[in-house]
Every structure is written in structure tokens, then in C-alpha cells.
């Protein structure tokens, strides 16, 4: 059995930043395990710009952003293994991994950082009626085929779901000469960033049909078209609103799911709303010594936030290795109510928290001219006025250590008028 101080599962933006965070805080024995043939994760197929504005103060493409971190990892001498699949993680931090060179190997780690990212919701989870013809792709699969493999997935497309990947692929396909007939969104609001709606749809004259869904996929061998129908408040199709759109391709951009199968094998407690781990302010899961960060924890909008969060996970994992345990103290529960779907972290230890803690959250609807209100045991301590809040845009609230008293047991963040 091999031994390492810290093992990081995933060599994408979260894994790279976590490795650098751990190294910067005094742990030299850090190993990154990555199942792909290169470091960088999903950023390698994101050839559009818009990355790095917060981290590097300039606009980069996904591969450029990833390369900045890869160069730092190489300069720091942090080892990594590519084409290595992790099959299982046990609660006592034993990692079973497999690769072609060594076969099956078990690694014992003093601390583990989960950075596996997320996956797309597939057609099978959506219950779309029709045959199973060629031409139906998740948006991320189409993005990889086009940007890495150089394969044009279709010439006439409809996109279901207005997540950021779907919006970006609407623009990408248009630039490659395809005709994007429409983007349909089940909800009455978009699931993507406002800037992507403007830059990827409005700038190219692509219609966004809110409160619409696909009610039939036409074609048996290859997609020949789809039927879109308007939906009512309970998300059910309204009879008589059917519209047929001719197309040879249907892209699905219907949400991302944290890739937490390995977390389950380690008996990590998962949040039913985020799909990711329940973590403390140290980004430590319910299993001591196992930390989580990035899109495997909760789906982020900006890779800059992923890098910031992951660097913190690396720092806290390094502290765990040095101390041999987590810091103690009284646990304070954080939760969202009245329009706030979730908070990350979900648990706070005031005894040894940092001077400032950034709590990230998402709302469950579009709110205009409202406020985010923070309450300690029912008492309001902070009110942040917001012109607009939407599910597609992550919100942040900063908590100050000196604002917490010894008797606080619960922190609630909610939306108020």
C-alpha cells in the first residue's frame, strides 16, 4: 500500500488549486489523481473566453486559465497521475485506483480532497417521449466533440435548457455555420448567467422560449424535428400550444449534478439540495480528513470561485494533516429559508473560524428589489439589498467572526421584501 499526506481526486481547476493551496501551507507530499489524459478538466473543452477576470484580472479562454494553474503545479513540483481512475474511497481514507501501468493500487492518505467535478443530467432522467434517434446530445458532449475532436454534431439544432453550457453551445454552433432554431427552457426564467443570454442568444438573434419543453422527438434513425409545448405553472404541457421545429440535432442543457459516487463510498453525508457533500466552514465533510470543493461540492457559475474555494480546501486539509485532527468547538448550523435554496457551508465552527467567511447560496426564484437577511438564532444581524436575484446567479454573504457570540446555535439566511 502506498502512502501520501494528501491525495486529491480530480485534476481539473478545483484539484489544481487545492494542490497549490496544500503545498503553500507546508505539505510537500501531495498527489493528484486524474482519469483523463491531461490536466485541466472541463476547461480543456471550454475554448470561449470569459475566464479569469477575478483571479488574473484579464479575460482568458478555458485552456488558457487551466494552463496558468498547470504551470504553477509543475513549478511547485507537485506529482500527478493521469489516466488513473479512482474506484473507491473508504471512510478511513484508503483509495483504490486503477491505471494501465500499475493495475489496481491502494493508496492510504492522511487527508483526501474530493474535486471530481460534475456531470450533465442525461436524456434518461428527463423522460422525453420519442424514439432514440441519432442527433440527441448533452450540451457538454457536443462541446467536447466540436472543440476537442473536431466533429460537427449537426447543422440545424434545438436546445432544451438554458444552462450556461447550452447557451454557449448555441453561439458555438452558430459560429460554425449551424442554424439554432430555438432555446427552450422549462422554467419561467433562464438557468444561465445574464451575460451569456445577451452574448450567446440576443447577439445572434436566437429566440429563448421560457416555460417551454420538448414534448416529442421526431425521427427514428436520426432526429428530424422536435415539438415544443408551453407549460403551465406546474410544469405540465398545455394542450394546443404545440409547435414543430425542423432540426437534425437536439442538445440537452438541463442541469449539472455533482459527481458524488466516490463520496458515497466514503460514507460522506450529502446535501439533498446541492447533491454535494455537507461541509463545515473548513470545507471538511462529515468524514474527518475528507474535504470537498468545486463543482463536486455544489455547481458554480465562475471558475474563479472554484479556484478560490479549492485553495481554501487545500489549506484546511494541510492544517488537518499537521494537527492530526480537525479543530473542535461548538457547531453552528447554517441554512436557507424563504427563497434561499441552500447555503455552502452548512456548518460553522465559530471557535476557530477565519476572520471572514464567505457563504455562497442560490435562490429558488427570480426576486426583484428584495434583500438577503442574515439572522442569528432568529435575530437579524445583516440585511443586503438586492436589485435582482435569480437562480442562475450565485449570491454571496460574508460573515464576520467577531459578530458571533458564544451562544449562537443557528444562522438562517432568507429573502425578505
The pLDDT tens digits for 17-30 are: 999 999 999 999 99
Q: CA-CA distance, 72 to 86, in Å (whole number)?
A: 24
Q: Does 353 score more than 90 pLDDT?
A: no
Q: What is the mean pLDDT of the chain?
A: 95
Q: What is the pLDDT of residue 369?
A: 96
Average pLDDT value for residue range 48-53: 93
3-class secondary structure per residue, 44-57 = HHCCCEEECCCCCC
Give which of 284, 350, 273 is closest to 319, Cα–Cα: 284
Cell of 290: 475528507
Average pLDDT value for residue range 106-111: 97
Q: What is the pLDDT of residue 388?
A: 94
Asked whether the beta carbons of 88 and 95 are under 8 A apart, the reply is yes
Strand locations in 211-253 (E): 212-218, 225-230, 243-246, 249-252
**Which 8-state DSSP code applies to residue 121?**
P
229 or 406: which carries more pLDDT confidence? Answer: 229
Average pLDDT value for residue range 399-416: 91
Q: Does 326 score more than 80 pLDDT?
A: no
254 vs 152, 327, 395, CA distance in Å? Answer: 21, 39, 21
Hey, is 383 helix, strand or coil? strand
Q: What percent of the chain has pLDDT over 70?
A: 100
pLDDT tens for residues 190-249?
988 889 999 999 999 999 999 999 999 999 999 999 999 999 999 999 999 999 999 999
The model's confidence at residue 156, banded by pLDDT at 50, 70 and 90, is very high
Q: Does 52 score more than 70 pLDDT?
A: yes
Asked whether the beta carbons of 223 and 246 are under 8 A apart, the reply is no
Q: How far is CA 220 from the centre of its chain?
A: 34
Q: Does 161 score more than 70 pLDDT?
A: yes
pTM, two decimal places: 0.94
Cell of 93: 481514507
Lowest mean pLDDT among 42-56, 240-254, 295-309, 399-413: 399-413
Give which of 398, 313, 324 is closest to 360, Cα–Cα: 398
The model's confidence at residue 107, banded by pLDDT at 50, 70 and 90, is very high
Lowest mean pLDDT among 45-59, 285-299, 324-338, 350-364: 324-338
Q: What are the residues whose beta carbons fall under 8 Å from the beta carbon of 27, sequence distance 6 or more? A: 5, 6, 317, 318, 321, 322
Q: Does 329 score more than 80 pLDDT?
A: no
Give which of 180, 120, 172, 117 is closest to 147, Cα–Cα: 172
Length of the chain: 417
pLDDT tens for residues 266-289?
999 999 999 999 999 999 999 999
Q: What is the pLDDT of residue 32?
A: 98
Q: What are the residues whose beta carbons fall under 8 Å from the beta carbon of 265, sequence distance 6 or more? A: 88, 89, 90
Q: Does 351 score more than 90 pLDDT?
A: no
Give which of 158, 135, 291, 138 is closest to 222, Cα–Cα: 135
**Which 8-state DSSP code applies to residue 100?**
T
Main-chain dihedrals φ then ψ at residue 389, nearest 5 degrees: -130, 140
Q: CA-CA distance, 116 to 22, in Å (whole number)?
A: 17
The model's confidence at residue 327, banded by pLDDT at 50, 70 and 90, is low
Average pLDDT value for residue range 110-125: 94
- Exposed e or buried b per residue across 9-22, where buried means at least 16 C-beta atoms within 10 angstroms of its C-beta: bbbbbbbbbbbbbb
| Bridge partners (DSSP) listed for residue 374 | 382, 413
Amino acid at each position: 500500500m502506498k502512502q501520501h499526506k494528501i491525495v486529491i481526486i480530480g485534476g481539473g481547476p478545483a484539484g489544481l488549486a487545492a494542490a497549490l493551496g496544500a503545498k503553500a501551507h507546508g505539505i510537500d507530499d501531495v498527489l493528484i489523481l486524474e482519469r483523463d489524459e491531461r490536466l485541466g478538466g472541463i476547461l480543456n473543452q471550454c475554448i470561449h473566453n470569459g475566464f479569469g477576470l477575478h483571479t488574473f484580472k484579464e479575460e482568458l479562454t478555458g485552456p488558457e486559465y487551466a494552463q496558468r494553474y498547470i504551470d504553477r503545479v509543475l513549478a511547485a513540483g507537485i506529482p500527478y497521475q493521469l489516466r488513473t481512475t479512482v474506484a473507491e474511497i473508504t471512510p478511513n481514507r484508503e483509495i483504490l485506483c486503477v491505471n494501465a501501468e500499475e493495475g489496481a493500487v491502494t493508496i492510504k492518505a492522511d487527508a483526501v480532497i474530493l474535486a471530481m467535478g460534475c456531470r450533465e443530467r442525461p436524456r434518461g432522467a428527463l423522460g422525453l417521449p420519442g424514439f432514440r434517434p441519432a442527433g440527441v446530445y448533452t450540451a457538454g458532449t457536443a462541446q467536447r466533440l466540436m472543440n476537442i475532436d473536431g466533429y460537427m454534431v449537426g447543422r440545424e439544432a434545438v436546445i432544451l435548457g438554458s444552462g450556461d453550457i447550452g447557451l454557449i453551445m448555441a453561439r458555438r454552433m452558430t459560429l460554425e455555420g449551424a442554424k439554432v432554431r430555438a432555446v427552450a427552457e422549462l422554467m419561467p426564467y433562464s438557468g444561465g448567467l445574464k451575460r451569456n443570454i445577451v452574448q450567446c442568444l440576443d447577439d445572434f438573434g436566437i429566440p429563448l422560449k421560457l416555460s417551454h419543453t420538448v414534448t416529442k422527438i421526431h425521427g427514428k434513425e436520426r432526429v428530424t424535428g422536435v415539438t415544443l409545448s408551453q407549460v403551465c405553472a406546474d410544469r405540465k404541457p398545455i394542450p394546443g400550444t404545440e409547435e414543430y421545429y425542423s432540426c437534425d440535432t437536439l442538445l440537452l442543457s438541463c442541469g449539472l449534478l455533482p459527481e458524488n459516487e466516490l463520496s458515497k463510498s466514503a460514507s460522506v453525508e450529502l446535501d439533498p439540495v446541492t447533491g454535494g457533500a455537507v461541509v463545515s466552514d473548513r470545507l471538511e465533510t462529515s468524514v474527518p480528513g475528507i474535504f470537498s470543493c468545486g463543482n463536486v461540492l455544489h455547481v458554480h457559475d465562475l471558475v474563479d470561485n472554484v479556484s478560490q474555494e479549492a485553495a481554501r480546501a487545500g489549506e484546511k486539509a494541510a492544517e488537518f494533516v499537521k494537527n492530526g485532527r480537525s479543530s473542535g468547538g461548538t457547531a453552528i448550523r447554517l441554512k436557507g429559508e424563504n427563497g434561499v435554496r441552500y447555503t455552502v457551508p452548512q456548518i460553522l465552527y465559530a471557535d476557530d473560524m477565519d476572520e471572514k467567511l464567505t457563504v455562497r447560496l442560490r435562490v429558488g426564484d427570480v426576486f426583484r428589489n428584495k434583500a438577503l437577511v442574515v439572522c442569528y438564532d432568529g435575530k437579524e444581524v445583516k440585511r443586503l439589498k438586492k436589485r435582482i436575484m435569480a437562480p442562475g446567479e450565485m449570491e454571496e454573504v460574508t460573515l464576520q467572526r467577531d459578530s458571533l457570540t458564544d451562544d449562537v446555535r443557528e444562522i438562517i439566511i432568507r429573502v425578505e421584501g
